[in-house]
């Protein structure tokens, strides 16, 4: 090898060596100089969390939630994806007791499908709930489900669908990330702890009374207080709407009387269907998702009304 080649190879190797050493020194120094004191519990909690980064806990990602638990004392059972197992792990890391954490699932507080909504007019604006919510006259009830599907668009797990104009949750697919609850502009979806597989809910958000409700909806709650009287206070009316006290509810409470007394069919079971319901529809072939099946008169397109 002549001198030029030798020198080239030597200088090349030397340059790479100098570069590597310099960078290691700089990065090593930076690692110490820019060291941010990180509580080791944050890393441990981060490992325990499922890393789905779904935002269901209310924080931007699993990392944020871990930091919030250690620095701000956030509740340890907020992770819907990990559920009670994760809550137990986190509790162990933080050295606290884990309470009885039931998974939270969304409940749509409206029971009116298109035929039961009165006062509907043709809406030709942007087909989203957020936009339709801003103008008057789309439907009679100003509190209830509009049916344009903002919740469906927010859900990344295909767990909520609009069936005949009403949002319905598929509890088999739902993981409880609460994206639908946050997307709803009328805030009629709330997250409720599901201590059992079937939960009784109040499927109405209408805060008006009596005739005002009947004028706009066939199944809306009129605030008659029958449920409160029959259950001796388990339902408690506020703003003409019953609120169910889930904390003091026994798992096997019989709602038969309350269901019979409610004149408007506003009390609804959600969650896993009961044995009777399954038996009733056992011989039906049900489609997976029921789509609205009417078309406009203008052309053959399906109207996402």
Partner 1 sequence: MEYIASIVLISVGAALINNFVLHYFVGICPFVGVSRRVEMAFGMGCAVTFVISIAAFLSWTFTYFVTRPGAPVTTWIWGMVNPGSEAVVDLSILNYIIYIFVIASSVQFVEMYLRKFFPALFKAFGIFLPLITTNCAILFGCLEIMKHITGVSSPAEMWGLDKALVFAVSGGIGFAIAITMMAGIREELDLCDVPKPLEGAGITLLVAGIMAMAFMGFTGVDRGLEALLLK
Choose, by CB under 8 A, the member of 21, 71, 96, 126 that binds partner 1: 126
Choose, by CB under 8 A, the member of 44, 102, 153, 237 that binds partner 1: 153
Q: CB 264 → partner 1: shortest distance, Å?
A: 35
DSSP H helices, the chain, are: 3-33, 40-48, 62-72, 83-94, 129-132, 150-154, 179-183, 211-214, 226-230, 256-261, 275-280
Looking at the Cβ atoms of 16 and 290, the one nearer to partner 1 is: 16
> How far apart, in Å, do the first and last CA atoms of the chain sit?
81
Tell me the longest C-alpha to C-alpha distance in the chain. Answer: 104
Decide if residue 152 touches partner 1 (CB under 8 A).
no
Rounded distance, CA 266 to CA 201, Å?
9
Both tokens assigned to 194? 């599901």
Decide if residue 136 touches partner 1 (CB under 8 A).
no
Of 17-25, 110-118, 137-145, 202-210, the segment contacting partner 1 by CB under 8 A is 17-25
Count the residues in the chain: 305
Looking at the Cβ atoms of 9 and 278, the one nearer to partner 1 is: 9
Alpha carbon separation from 227 to 209, 257, 266, 277 (Å, rounded) = 15, 8, 10, 23
Phi-psi map region of 128: left, alpha, beta (phi>0 left; psi -120 to 50 alpha)? beta
Q: CB 62 → partner 1: shortest distance, Å?
A: 12
Nearest partner of 96 among 46, 37, 177, 41, judged by Cα: 41
Burial class (CB in 10 A: 0-12, 13-18, 19+), 298: exposed
Decide if residue 26 touches partner 1 (CB under 8 A).
yes
Looking at the Cβ atoms of 8 and 187, the one nearer to partner 1 is: 8
Decide if residue 15 touches partner 1 (CB under 8 A).
yes
Decide if residue 296 touches partner 1 (CB under 8 A).
no
Decide if residue 289 touches partner 1 (CB under 8 A).
no
Looking at the Cβ atoms of 253 and 303, the one nearer to partner 1 is: 303
Q: CB 209 → partner 1: shortest distance, Å?
A: 37
Decide if residue 25 touches partner 1 (CB under 8 A).
no
Decide if residue 11 touches partner 1 (CB under 8 A).
yes
Decide if residue 23 touches partner 1 (CB under 8 A).
yes
- By CB under 8 A, the residues from 225 to 284 that bind partner 1 are none
Rounded distance, CA 132 to CA 140, Å?
13
Choose, by CB under 8 A, the member of 8, 196, 239, 296 that binds partner 1: 8
- The binding track of 29-68 with respect to partner 1, each residue x by CB under 8 A or -, is -xx-xxxx--------------------------------
Looking at the Cβ atoms of 20 and 279, the one nearer to partner 1 is: 20
Stated as kind and residue range, the H or E segment containing 269 is strand 267-271
Write the DSSP assignment of 19-30 as a string of letters: HHHHHHHHHHHH
User: Which residues, at least 6 apart from 15, have a Cβ–Cβ distance to it below 8 Å?
Assistant: none
- By CB under 8 A, the residues from 64 to 123 that bind partner 1 are none
Burial class (CB in 10 A: 0-12, 13-18, 19+), 260: exposed
Looking at the Cβ atoms of 53 and 164, the one nearer to partner 1 is: 53
Query: Which residues of the chain form contacts with partner 1 (CB under 8 A)?
Result: 3-4, 7-8, 11-12, 15-16, 19-20, 23, 26-27, 30-31, 33-36, 126-128, 153
């Amino acid at each position: 090898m002549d001198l030029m080649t030798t020198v080239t190879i030597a200088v090349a190797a030397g340059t790479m060596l100098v570069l590597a050493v310099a960078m290691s020194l700089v990065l090593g120094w930076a690692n110490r100089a820019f060291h941010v004191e990180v509580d080791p519990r944050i890393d441990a909690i981060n490992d325990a969390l499922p890393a789905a980064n779904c935002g269901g806990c209310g924080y931007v990602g699993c990392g944020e939630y871990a930091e919030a638990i250690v620095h701000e004392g956030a509740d340890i059972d907020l992770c819907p994806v990990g559920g009670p197992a994760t809550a137990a792990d986190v509790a162990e890391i933080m050295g606290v007791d884990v309470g009885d954490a039931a998974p939270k699932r969304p409940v749509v507080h409206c029971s009116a499908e298109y035929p039961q909504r009165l006062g509907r007019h043709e809406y030709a604006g942007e087909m989203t709930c957020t936009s339709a919510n801003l103008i008057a006259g789309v439907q009679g009830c100003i509190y209830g489900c509009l049916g344009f599907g903002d919740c469906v668009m927010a859900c990344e797990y295909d767990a909520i669908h609009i069936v005949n104009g009403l949002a319905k949750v598929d509890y088999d697919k739902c993981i409880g990330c609460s994206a639908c609850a946050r997307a709803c502009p009328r805030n009629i979806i709330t997250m409720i702890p599901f201590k059992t597989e079937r939960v009784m809910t109040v499927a109405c958000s209408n805060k008006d009374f009596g005739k005002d409700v009947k004028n706009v909806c066939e199944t809306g709650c009129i605030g008659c207080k029958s449920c409160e009287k029959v259950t001796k206070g388990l339902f408690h009316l506020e703003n003409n709407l019953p609120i169910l006290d889930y904390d003091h509810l026994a798992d096997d409470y019989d709602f038969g009387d309350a269901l019979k007394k409610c004149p408007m069919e506003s009390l609804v079971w959600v969650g896993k269907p009961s044995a009777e319901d399954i038996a009733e529809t056992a011989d039906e072939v049900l489609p997976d998702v029921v789509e609205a099946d009417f078309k406009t008169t203008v052309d053959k397109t399906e109207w996402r009304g």
